[in-house]
Amino acid sequence: MTTSVTPLGDVRVVALEAPRPRSGPARLLAAPGTRLALGALLTIAMCVLVLPLVLPHAPHEQLDLATRALASPRAAHPFGTDAVARDVLARVVAGGRVSLAVAAASVLLASALGTAWGLAAGLAGARIDALLMRLVDAGLAVPRVLLLLVVLSLPREPSLVLLVLALGATGWFGVARLVRTEVRRLRDADWVLAARALGTSRRRLAWRQLLPHVLAPVLVTAALGMGNVIVLEAGLSWLGVGVQPPRASWGNIIRDGTDLLQAAPWISLAPGACLVLVVLCCTVLADGLRDALAARELPRP
Amino acid sequence: MTAPPTSAATAPLLALRDVRVRIRTARGTITPVDGVSLDVHRGEVLALVGESGCGKSLTALTILRLLEPPARIEAGSSIRFEGTELLALDERALRAVRGRRIAMVFQEPMTALNPVHTAGAQVAEVVRAHERVSRREAMDRAVAMLATVGIPDPAVRATQYPHELSGGMRQRVMLAIALVLDPALLVADEPTTALDVTIQAQLLDLLREAQRARGASMLLITHDLGVVAEMAQRVAVMYAGQVVEEAPVGALFAAPLHPYTEGLLAAMPRAGTVRRELATIPGTVPPPEAWPTACRFADRCPYAWQRCRTEAPPLHDAGDGRRARCHLVEEPARRADRHAPAAAGTA
């Protein structure tokens, strides 16, 4: 008997196709949680933009005090009414506009300030860098709420613009530190040396070569910061130094309801629920963004 | 005395004179580049050879003044390029030289390209950093350059990111970046070390062709004597921060003057010779803080005698464009006395 060799006749070659590199948005939307969060945020944004145009009541409109004050949720008032007979739904929607706009504007401001500061410090020499970062440390050392309380209680009635400026000006320290650390890390990369060897100016290096790299972590912190600032603004409004009545914001509607929490819990409940939902969505979105952006980068040697 | 034939006609394109780089460290000041003088003539390929840590890459970075603190170029150093003293230029004037007149090719194509930009954008970026051209025109030139360096389907490749390209392809992109503005001098720091051998050969051919076709000069930094033989006309050998020997390639390979060069050549495998164990140089390059004060190679040298440990040899002129930093040039009879070097026992 001889040993037989099995012929390899039936062996098929299976080409393992590498997964095609997908675009950033496609990667972001691949996670169901992120999809849900993004969908919810967009829905809320659409609601606060469109609903005021179609709702029967204006946010400041006082209905009949005798019959409509503190009405519990019903068909005419899905979220009920408050102590002075205003429709809570109309107020939550209007307040959402203010809360979201203030948060978005101040986060944008903080991100821009922090990125510029961090890039400058990261590219500067040791001494300037130390100076710039000690200033950031000082900013981080002072409790943000305390700083905001002082600034916002100076004028008799803080305007929305002042609120945005104050929130933005106290919110960029963390971003600056993050960007500066990232730039310091990237500075030693071969491609930075290569860019310098090719005659790229410092400004061009920061703008065209480094900025795309630091934008990813900045975007993630911005999404997280968004949730943070909404809560902060609500807290300030609750304390009476944020958005001033009669203009509604989620924070001051919640405050309006706290005295009546047992008699009319719906007043605080509706804006509170919106707040929690938005903050949650921002966090989930930030998480999804981080995953999607991390996948873009090559593994570092 | 006869001058080297290449320098007879014109002044060198690049002339380093007595270049010293100091680095202040926690354990004291070191001088990893210590009095290096080199000439690169027009149209010439000069190879700079040496072991890791001998200061050859640092010398390359010094030329474009890319060193960052705590590294400092000492006063008294001079780097003249196209008649201009590079060490006297301000940052702005220096940027005009970098990339346009002198271009660098780096060792690691994996890391020397920015991962967030496409290949085409990175070539175009150099054009846009130096010339007032539209985005469109810069990209057209980039694509044309990618074709020149032998990238198939350049219009498609231009839109791909570094991680979508192979190592050889990436190095071609690096080459396109270096060549796109037609520089007079290419500084190539181990341009093929990170690649596998077949790709290495292709890229060396490409590099040589590009250099010849454009009449550019090249400073080729390598530790590979095979690459030297194939590419360069002249060689400078560095050891412990100094140039120890300088010679035309043929002469150097035929009869090295410095014992270190001799050791390097003996350690190189050659085709056609009977297989035997490759020679090694005993000991290692000492770190900069431990360099001997007299001859820096004495401890590893098979010819070293008393004089080598007391008196630092100058870079002797040996005629025919050859120079060597060794007392043997003055006392050639000592070549007969070959013995085990001092470092052999301790290594």
Q: Which tens digit of pLDDT belongs to each residue from B194-223?
A: 778 888 888 888 888 888 888 899 999 988
Region A63-84 average pLDDT: 78
Closest CA to A130 of B215, A138, B236: A138
d(CA B347, CA B345): 6
Q: Decide if A204 touches B, using CB distance below 8 A.
A: yes
Q: How far is B89 from chain A (nearest CA, A)?
A: 13
Of the candidates A193, A204, A298, the beta carbon closest to that of B115 is on A298
- For residue B99, the SS3 value is coil
Pairwise CB contact (< 8 Å): A198 & B106: no
Region A113-124 average pLDDT: 93
User: Inter-axis angle of helices A88-123 and A250-258, to 10 degrees?
Assistant: 130
pTM of the model: 0.77
Note every long-range contact of B161-166, with CB atoms under 8 Å and residues 24 or more positions apart, other chains counting. B161/B115, B161/B116, B161/B117, B161/B118, B161/B119, B162/A298, B162/B110, B162/B113, B162/B114, B162/B115, B162/B119, B163/A298, B163/B115, B164/A21, B165/B119
CB atoms near residue A5 (< 10 Å): 6
d(CA A193, CA A190): 5
Confidence of residue A58 (pLDDT cuts 50, 70, 90): confident
pLDDT at B8 over 50: no
Q: How far is B52 from chain A (nearest CA, A)?
A: 18
Instruction: Supply φ then ψ for residue B69, to 5 degrees.
Output: -55, 145
* Higher-scoring residue by pLDDT: A294, B101: B101
* Higher-scoring residue by pLDDT: A27, A276: A276
- Sequence ranges of the domains in chain B: 5-101+183-346, 109-182
d(CA A258, CA A268): 7
Region A164-189 average pLDDT: 92
- Between B89-103, B122-136, B185-199, the lowest mean confidence (pLDDT) is in B185-199
Q: Please give the mean pLDDT across all residues of chain B.
A: 85
A88 in Cβ contact with A266 (< 8 Å): yes
Q: Is residue A130 part of a domain?
A: yes
Q: How far is A112 from chain B (nearest CA, A)?
A: 20
B223-251 per-position pLDDT tens digit: 888 888 888 999 999 998 889 999 999 88
pLDDT at A18 over 70: no
Of the candidates B126, B163, B177, the beta carbon closest to that of A298 is on B163
pLDDT at A6 over 70: no
A256 in Cβ contact with A82 (< 8 Å): yes
Pairwise CB contact (< 8 Å): B110 & A301: yes
Q: Decide if A21 touches B, using CB distance below 8 A.
A: yes
B288-299 per-position pLDDT tens digit: 888 888 888 888
pLDDT at B46 over 90: yes
pLDDT recorded at residue A1: 46
Q: How far is A277 from chain B (nearest CA, A)?
A: 34
Confidence of residue A104 (pLDDT cuts 50, 70, 90): very high
pLDDT at A189 over 50: yes
pLDDT recorded at residue B274: 60
A238-275 per-position pLDDT tens digit: 888 888 888 888 888 888 888 888 888 888 888 899 98
pLDDT at A21 over 60: no
Per-residue burial over A71-94, b = 16 or more CB atoms within 10 Å of its CB, e = otherwise: bebeeebebbbbeebbbbbbbbbb
Cα dihedral A174/A177/A178/A182 (nearest 10): 170
Closest CA to B192 of B228, B163, B160, B162: B228
Containing structural domain, residue A197: 30-55+77-296
pLDDT recorded at residue A301: 37
Q: Is residue A222 part of a domain?
A: yes
Rg (alpha carbons) of chain B, rounded to whole number: 21
Confidence of residue B347 (pLDDT cuts 50, 70, 90): very low
Region B138-166 average pLDDT: 90
Q: Is residue A67 part of a domain?
A: no
* Higher-scoring residue by pLDDT: A9, A106: A106
The alpha-helical segments, DSSP class H, found in chain A are: 24-30, 32-54, 65-68, 88-123, 126-141, 144-153, 160-169, 173-187, 190-197, 202-204, 211-239, 250-258, 266-296
pLDDT at B1 over 50: no
A63 in Cβ contact with A86 (< 8 Å): yes
- For residue A81, the SS3 value is strand
Count interface pairs A-B at CB distance under 8 A.
68
Confidence of residue B283 (pLDDT cuts 50, 70, 90): confident
Between the ranges A99-113, B111-125, B195-209, where is the mean pLDDT highest? Answer: A99-113
pLDDT recorded at residue B277: 64
Assembly ipTM: 0.81
Q: Please give the mean pLDDT across all residues of chain A.
A: 83
Tokens representing residue B276 in the block: 């035997």
- For residue A165, the SS3 value is helix
Region B11-39 average pLDDT: 88
Among A129, A198, A213, pick the best mutation site for testing chain B contact (most B Cβ within 10 A).
A198
Q: Is residue A157 part of a domain?
A: yes
Confidence of residue A7 (pLDDT cuts 50, 70, 90): low
- The number of folded domains in chain A is 1
Calculate the CA A298 to chain-centre distance: 27
Q: Decide if A299 touches B, using CB distance below 8 A.
A: no
pLDDT recorded at residue B202: 85
Could you tell me which CATH number the domain at B5-101+183-346 has?
A: 3.40.50.300
B301-332 per-position pLDDT tens digit: 888 888 888 888 888 888 888 888 988 888 88
Confidence of residue A133 (pLDDT cuts 50, 70, 90): very high
Among B116, B170, B174, pick the best mutation site for testing chain A contact (most A Cβ within 10 A).
B116
Q: What percent of chain B has pLDDT over 90?
A: 17
pLDDT at B137 over 80: yes
Q: Is residue A9 part of a domain?
A: no
Which residues from chain A sit within 8 angstroms of residue B112, using beta carbons? 190-191, 193-194
- For residue B188, the SS3 value is strand
E strand segments, chain B: 14-25, 28-40, 45-49, 71-73, 78-81, 84-85, 102-105, 185-189, 217-222, 234-239, 242-248, 316-319, 322-324
Q: Is residue A12 part of a domain?
A: no
pLDDT recorded at residue B346: 46
Supply the CATH number for residue A280's domain: 1.10.3720.10
Q: Name every residue whose Cβ is closer than 8 Å to that of residue B336 and which is 6 or more positions away in sequence.
A: none
* Higher-scoring residue by pLDDT: B310, A63: B310
Q: Is residue A3 part of a domain?
A: no
Of the candidates B116, B129, B162, the beta carbon closest to that of A200 is on B129
Which residues from chain B sit within 8 angstroms of residue A209, using beta carbons? 114, 117
- Between A49-58, A286-295, B116-125, the lowest mean confidence (pLDDT) is in A286-295
Region A74-90 average pLDDT: 82
d(CA B6, CA B155): 41
Q: Is residue A11 part of a domain?
A: no
- Between B84-98, B116-130, B188-202, the lowest mean confidence (pLDDT) is in B188-202
Q: What percent of chain B has pLDDT over 70?
A: 93
Region A57-80 average pLDDT: 78
